[in-house]
């Protein structure tokens, strides 16, 4: 049922929220394909994972701009939420690294 689905999704989210993974990949694991868009803090690129050949959108942030515009906490919250969420119609964070 929908109620059971939502209860399990909440449980999964809270478990992942409490113990977020650290540096699950590295830049060398991906081949950059092309830029999909640009924004205030950086760009989003289409990349291909070298070992799995899966395609992903990679958000690349300019740390200096994030710090200068006082967006550190906002950026860290976004990362933590995206790594914890697993829901239809929402983007899921598969990998992260510095």
Binding site for ATP, by residue number, is 59
Cα 13 vs. chain centroid, distance in angstroms? Answer: 14
Strand partners, 37: 44
Binding residues: 59
Going by C-beta distance under 8 Å and a sequence separation of 6 or more, which residues neighbour residue 56?
Answer: 30, 46, 47, 48, 49, 94, 95
Going by C-beta distance under 8 Å and a sequence separation of 6 or more, which residues neighbour residue 20?
Answer: 79, 80, 83, 84
């Amino acid at each position: 049922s929908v109620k059971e689905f939502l209860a399990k999704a909440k449980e999964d989210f809270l478990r992942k929220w409490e113990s977020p993974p650290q540096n699950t990949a590295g830049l060398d694991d991906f081949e950059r394909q092309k830029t999909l868009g640009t924004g205030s803090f950086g760009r989003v690129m289409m990349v291909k994972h070298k070992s799995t050949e899966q395609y992903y959108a990679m958000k690349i942030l300019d740390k200096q701009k994030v710090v200068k515009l006082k967006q550190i906490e906002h950026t860290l919250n976004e990362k933590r939420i995206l790594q914890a969420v697993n829901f239809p119609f929402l983007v899921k964070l598969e990998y992260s690294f510095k």
